[in-house]
Chain A
Amino acid sequence: MNTNKVKGIIKRELKDKLFAKSFIIMTLLIPGIIILSIGIQAWVNSYEEESASKALIVSEIPGLTKEIKEEFKQDKSIKAKDYIISYDEMSRADFEKSIKKLKPLLLDESLNGIIFIPKMALKNKELIYYSKNPKNRALKSKLGSVINNVLVAKYFSGRELNKADIAFAKKPIDFNSMKVSAEKIQEEGFGPEILSFGFTFLLYMGLMLSGTLILRSVIEEKSNRIVEVLLSSVSSGDLMVGKIIGASITSLAQMFIWLVPVIIIFSTSWFMLPVKFTFSISIWEWLYFFLNFLIGIVTFLGLFAAVGAIFDNDQDAQSGLWPVMMLIMIPFFIALSVGNNPDNSLAVWTSVLPFSSIIVMPARMTLVDVPVYQFVISIVVNLATLIVIFPIAGKIYRIGILMTGKKPTWKEVAGWVKLKS
């Protein structure tokens, strides 16, 4: 390798990518997209009907409707303006007669639902819900929990229980999650989950962005025939190595810019964060994260560069890119689902397998304490993958970059790999 020439190539790549306007824009835009997507998810989950839900509660139990009304006022999780509720008390026979009259109101949605509380409800808690759309869980569950509280209170009221007993009976279970590690046991909130999601997304974007950039740059050099001039000065190996080092530095810098604020916010006491949002991640795990990303980025840049060399226009390259995209997309989705159970066998295996471990392991390590040997396996496996992949990618690059004219088939590309020199 001619280091001076490689240096020249690296310098140009950095000038072209790291110091480009588009780099700054993309680097700032990505965290915004992540925050936006988390926000959208939260908003969609909490989304309810914009207009107030109109419901009728009919009770066969005398005096129950008054208590429900009171309970409604006390429940802080329900905004009064979201529900317009009317109440009625009548026998089952009367209600069955009046339901026929109420039917048109349900059909034209001037009434979203009717809840009938039969007498037996005090024994079996079985209510009847009438609606055009009985599957709409939002209305049922909100009103249901209020009615449940009233029924519980009513049930115990004649049995010499004090208010505290009743309050206890009404209270739902609340899990307080404690994270147990070798050193300590501590309360855990949403922090690790947010970090896991953040890592997954940043790794995905980091790999995709720099992959696409090097793909485009290889295609530009090939289709503009710059590569002919370059190869009259440097060897194809030096050219590829220079380009990949340049792109890796750019990508690492980007990852650093994204994560430094996170490290500062979470590892110092400069910002007071609620316990709910904190997480603990050791310096070794941070080191692992960057080392893992570096190995991953070099591997994938090699693959993207090889694909770019096979084709001589963006369109063909996009369609030829799917095998490489799959190697990023599948681990990305696995990593997103790791939160359900970070210790099931899918999560464990994909966090040490080639390619997938690059994205899955960082997502998993934020959620559970990964044994050191698994980190070691993941690094060794990824390094081995890199050592196997790189010469193959290099060969495809070297031959593809000078081929013009017809689009080669995969069989032909496989033939290039077998060529001796």
Chain B
Amino acid sequence: MHPLKIKNLTKNFGELCAVNHISFDVPENSIFGLIGRNGAGKTTTIRMLMNIYLPDEGEIIFRGEKITPEFKDYVGYLPEERGLYKKMSVIDTLLFFAEIKGKSGSAVKKKAYEYLERFELLDRASSKIQDLSKGNQQKIQFISTILHDPDFIILDEPFSGLDPINTELLKDIILEMKGKNKVIILSTHLMDYAEKLCDHIAMIDHGKLILHGDLEEIKKKFSEGKITVIHEGDISFINQLPYVQKVADFGNRTEIKVNDSHHTQDLLKTLVERNVIINKFSANETSLHEIFVELAENTGSEQLKGEF
């Protein structure tokens, strides 16, 4: 059974429907990507998951039970914009956030120091937050998200502002959490990260769920008949080919959609016959980015204003 089930979730703010009848399940042992543009309804959905907002309709079931205010103790939330008290010391900050999650005492303190050591911040334990660099502040924020050992972790744009080394460190810890049977929701508009980390995704646009499921399956479905060619010379003649649906020309790289996957061979043959120099030819491959753009274009109406 899926540990987190979201059923028919809806939230209105006056006239505006921020989240419109969304349903999806988050499977065990996976990283779940919540994807969408700014203002798509991600934050509102997350706030309902954390019981900050009460949904107008629908329900959230975690491990077989409808969530209650106590559920907050099992959630770890890393917000998109960092939220720390500037004048508090690092260790006080960590212990405070653990305390309001119901965890206090020497065990938590010991763990806090362990995390600080792992993030190479042990010597800054008594520094004030405002004296830390942005990247270090973000590490503190991340530690405070997981220090109370939550079962359900929501990470909103966790990598923004981190250097490559810390990004790797964070990624390792996220994967480690996944291994510990935690339910992880990764909310992002950066498709590359979502693609690398997530096993399942839900894509939200204008408050509606436009796509969800296993990432591999989604990609497979969307990549059928998709071809990317890196070439030298003009290939504009392909627009005339009867089996070509769509062509996007990026100069040396061209993305082509054909009617059916067996047309891939026909296209390759034609290109060779026309003496086009081909440096790379990849078939049936697509990125989450492309899927998102394609879907957003299809549903695209006016973008919602404001983030809720």
Chain A: residues with CB nearer than 8 A to chain B? 2, 4-5, 8-9, 11-12, 15-16, 220-221, 224-236, 402, 404-406, 421
CA distance A226 to B137 in the complex (A): 13
B100: which of A9, A221, A405 is its contact (CB, 8 Å)? Answer: A9
A226: which of B69, B76, B85, B308 is its contact (CB, 8 Å)? Answer: B85
CA distance A231 to B76 in the complex (A): 11
Ordered by A's residue number, 30 sampled pairs between the chains whose C-beta atoms are within 8 Å are A5-B102, A8-B100, A8-B104, A9-B100, A16-B85, A16-B87, A220-B86, A224-B82, A225-B82, A225-B83, A227-B83, A228-B77, A228-B81, A228-B83, A229-B77, A229-B79, A229-B83, A229-B97, A229-B144, A230-B83, A230-B100, A231-B50, A232-B52, A232-B72, A233-B72, A233-B97, A233-B100, A234-B100, A402-B52, A421-B54
- Knowing A5-B102, A402-B47, A405-B307 touch, does A231 contact B82 (C-beta < 8 A)? no
Q: Is B253 an interface residue (CB 8 A)?
A: no
Least CB distance, A94 to chain B, in whole angstroms: 81
Other contacts beyond A8-B100, A231-B52, A402-B47: 17, CB < 8 A:
A5-B99, A8-B99, A9-B100, A12-B88, A16-B88, A224-B85, A225-B81, A225-B82, A225-B83, A226-B85, A227-B83, A229-B77, A230-B83, A232-B76, A234-B100, A402-B52, A406-B306
Contacts of A405 in B (CB 8 A): 306-307
Contacts of A5 in B (CB 8 A): 99-100, 102
CA distance A38 to B78 in the complex (A): 53
> Which of chain A's residues has its CB closest to B49's CB?
A232
Taking residues whose C-beta sits less than 8 angstroms from the other chain, chain B's interface range is 20 to 34
CA distance A5 to B83 in the complex (A): 18
Cβ A224 vs Cβ B87 within 8 A: no
Contacts of A404 in B (CB 8 A): 307
Q: Which residues in chain B, 85-108, are within 8 Å of chain A measured between CB atoms?
A: 85-88, 92, 96-97, 99-102, 104
Contacts of B50 in A (CB 8 A): 231-232
Which one of B87, B88, B97 has the highest number of Cβ atoms from chain A below 10 Å of its Cβ? B97
> Which of chain A's residues has its CB closest to B44's CB?
A402
- Knowing A232-B75, A402-B47 touch, does A12 contact B83 (C-beta < 8 A)? no
Contacts of A421 in B (CB 8 A): 54
CA distance A346 to B173 in the complex (A): 68
Contacts of B47 in A (CB 8 A): 402
Least CB distance, B195 to chain A, in whole angstroms: 26
Contacts of A2 in B (CB 8 A): 69
> Which of chain A's residues has its CB closest to B99's CB?
A8
